[in-house]
Amino acid sequence: MASSLTKGAAKQGNPADGGKTFFGHPRGLATLFMTEMWERFSFYGMRALLVLYLISGGPDSKDGSQGGGLEMTEANAVAIYSVYLAMVYLLAMPGGWFGDRVWGPRKTVAIAAGIIMAGHLLLAVPGQLPFFGGLALVAFGSGLLKANISTMVGHLYDGPEDPRRDGGFTVFYIGINIGGFAAPLVIGTVGQEVNWHLGFAIAALGMALGLIQFLLGTRHLSPLSSQVPTPLATEERKTWLRKGLIWTVIAAAFYTVVTVTGHFTLNWALVPITILGLIIPIAVLVRIKRDKELTDLEQTKVSGYIWFFVAAAVFWMIFDQGGSTLSAFAETKTADSVFGIRFPSSWFQSVNSAWVMALAPVFAWMWLALARRNREPNTTVKFAMALVLTGASFFVFVIPMSMANDGSTVSPGWLLSIYMLQTMGELCLSPVGLSVTTKMAPQKYASQMLGVWFLAVTAGDCTTGLLSIGGVDLSGEGVIALEATLAVLAGFAIWMYRKKVVKMMGDVH
């Protein structure tokens, strides 16, 4: 899963509590650990049900499965899922802006948790209107929370040189994966086997528990988390509010006309969002690249970073289909029992987190062992490895797809293998990508570049969404093989031009 960590997000302070500790770390880490764990519990639980609920009762649903869903085709479900996920990461940038300039990180996280909870409660209400309203609220709340909670983890330590800092983020990352692992097992089972909306309600309960313990534990956080680093001036606030209202009125008027005239379809909402999700990342990178205030070295580094950005977008385009294309395949074409023990297909959404917890220590040990021998791969090689691994996962995917063409179901082992390859790729790219982003960022854009990294996820998911909207069958063997080929070729391109990219990285290693 895409990491929520933002290691260099803000000016750091002293530990908030020098007395009580949490595994040797400031007591406030326990508060943030539990908040993030419950937020990820609600997020990944809902995500595990999303595509299954959308296709339930429709032409692509599994025979004998629970009805009561929105009866959509798999193509529409994949498009909605992709757009939703893209918006979560796109909104991380304005989320960080709210924390920096309006509310401060602590208040922003509390408000975000309330919005997420309200969104899940709306999802628990039957009907399309509450469903899409709830989905929008969860995406907005997740975007607000994502960057700010990571910033508060950094606030607990005495600057970047605090020896406990990296360990604290590691503990925090464990909370992410505990929540991601448990959610499909609990929320997925209840939603898929009992009632979809009860499952969404449990996601709301999870976020409520996270919010309650966050509010009770705020006294353990650093005072910096309550401060607004660069507050908006009164005139700036009025300007932003005026612009926001103008665009809201324009959008409301446009969609009112489209709806009243009877022309509204789902694509009227999905297409503009996916196009924006592709335009905004490009526009942000172009704006940074064309900034005349950057030094020649910073300009060169930005050029080098574009290679990593494009590679990450290709990676997430495939990786994030784990919750859509692979989820639908798990539901309709994968055996739902092992040794006579039956389980719902949503359980497959726990596999990535399980592999992360199993393989992350192995990768950490491997990189350290290679570093001691001066043989650790550099960043470009790790990115190339990530792309080849995720491409290989889709080449493997083609095999069970062809086996299931006659209507039979395939062994769950195929999906376990696919998720393993993708997780190995994630461990090569995700933490390394965050690190290289902070190192290659121009001084002027030090904080904003972390938002740019999340925009790579947005670009990848919007590409998937646009393909689905355009009628491309992402569950077809030919398309899966084409995506796999694209990823592998991109990996080889990064590897072949690694010396050129390394040169553009300047003093970054």
DSSP run (H or E) holding 166: helix 165-183
Q: For the whole model, what pTM was predicted?
A: 0.90
Is pLDDT at 2 greater than 60 in this prediction?
Answer: no
Q: Per the structure block, which two tokens stand in for 281?
A: 């990342």
Task: Give the Cα separation of 394 and 18 in Å (integer).
Answer: 49
Is pLDDT at 307 greater than 90 in this prediction?
Answer: yes
Domain end marker among 231, 248, 273? 231
Task: Quickly state the pLDDT bin for 412 (edges 50, 70, 90).
Answer: very high
- The answer on 176 and 158 residing in a single domain is yes
Task: Quickly state the pLDDT bin for 162 (edges 50, 70, 90).
Answer: confident
Q: pLDDT tens, 367-410? A: 889 989 999 899 999 999 999 999 999 999 999 999 999 889 99
Query: Tell me, what's the pLDDT at 15?
Result: 46
Query: Tell me, what's the pLDDT at 161?
Result: 67
**In the 8-state DSSP scheme, what is residue 226?**
G
Task: Quickly state the pLDDT bin for 253 (edges 50, 70, 90).
Answer: very high
- The answer on 498 and 350 residing in a single domain is yes
Domains identified in the chain, total number:
3
Task: Give the Cα separation of 332 and 219 in Å (integer).
Answer: 49
The DSSP-derived string for 5-30 is: --TT-S--B--S-SSSEETTEETHHH
Query: Tell me, what's the pLDDT at 155?
Result: 87
- The answer on 212 and 99 residing in a single domain is yes
For 169-178, 208-217, 278-287, 457-466, which range has the lowest pLDDT when averaged over its residues? 169-178
Percentage of the chain with pLDDT > 90? 65
- The answer on 379 and 343 residing in a single domain is yes
**In the 8-state DSSP scheme, what is residue 376?**
-
**In the 8-state DSSP scheme, what is residue 377?**
-
Per-residue three-class SS string for 322-373: HHCHHHHHHHHHECCEECCEECCHHHHHHHHHHHHHHHHHHHHHHHHHHHHC
Average pLDDT for 421-443: 88
Query: Tell me, what's the pLDDT at 211?
Result: 97
Residues 6+ apart with CB under 8 A from 490: 310, 311, 314, 387, 391
Tell me if 208 sits within 8 A of 117, measured CB to CB: yes
Query: Tell me, what's the pLDDT at 33?
Result: 93
Task: Quickly state the pLDDT bin for 509 (edges 50, 70, 90).
Answer: low
CA 116 to each of CA 88, 104, 135, 227, 420: distance values in angstroms, whole numbers, following the listed order: 11, 18, 9, 23, 30
Q: Per the structure block, which two tokens stand in for 282?
A: 């490009």
Per-residue three-class SS string for 274-292: HHHHHHHHHHHHHHHHCCC
Task: Give the Cα separation of 301 and 295 in Å (integer).
Answer: 10
Query: Tell me, what's the pLDDT at 421?
Result: 98
Average pLDDT for 112-140: 96
Is pLDDT at 366 greater than 80 in this prediction?
Answer: yes
- The answer on 36 and 118 residing in a single domain is yes
Structural domain that includes position 271: 265-504
The answer to whether residue 3 sits within a structural domain is no
CATH assignment of the domain containing 480: 1.20.1250.20
- The answer on 248 and 205 residing in a single domain is no
Q: Per the structure block, which two tokens stand in for 501?
A: 């990219």
Q: How many CB atoms are closer than 10 A to CB 293?
A: 8
Average pLDDT, the chain: 90
The DSSP-derived string for 427-476 is: HHHHHHHHHHHHHHS-GGGTTHHHHHHHHHHHHHHHHHHHHHHTT--TTS
The answer to whether residue 296 sits within a structural domain is yes
Task: Quickly state the pLDDT bin for 441 (edges 50, 70, 90).
Answer: confident
Query: Tell me, what's the pLDDT at 13?
Result: 41
The answer to whether residue 292 sits within a structural domain is yes
Task: Quickly state the pLDDT bin for 269 (edges 50, 70, 90).
Answer: confident
More confident: 91 or 168: 91
Task: Give the Cα separation of 352 and 363 in Å (integer).
Answer: 15
For 4-13, 43-52, 107-116, 238-247, which range has the lowest pLDDT when averaged over its residues? 4-13
Identity of the amino acid at 351: V
Residues 6+ apart with CB under 8 A from 313: 281, 456, 457, 459, 460, 463
- The answer on 288 and 143 residing in a single domain is no
Is pLDDT at 455 greater than 70 in this prediction?
Answer: yes
- The answer on 311 and 251 residing in a single domain is no
- The answer on 196 and 83 residing in a single domain is yes
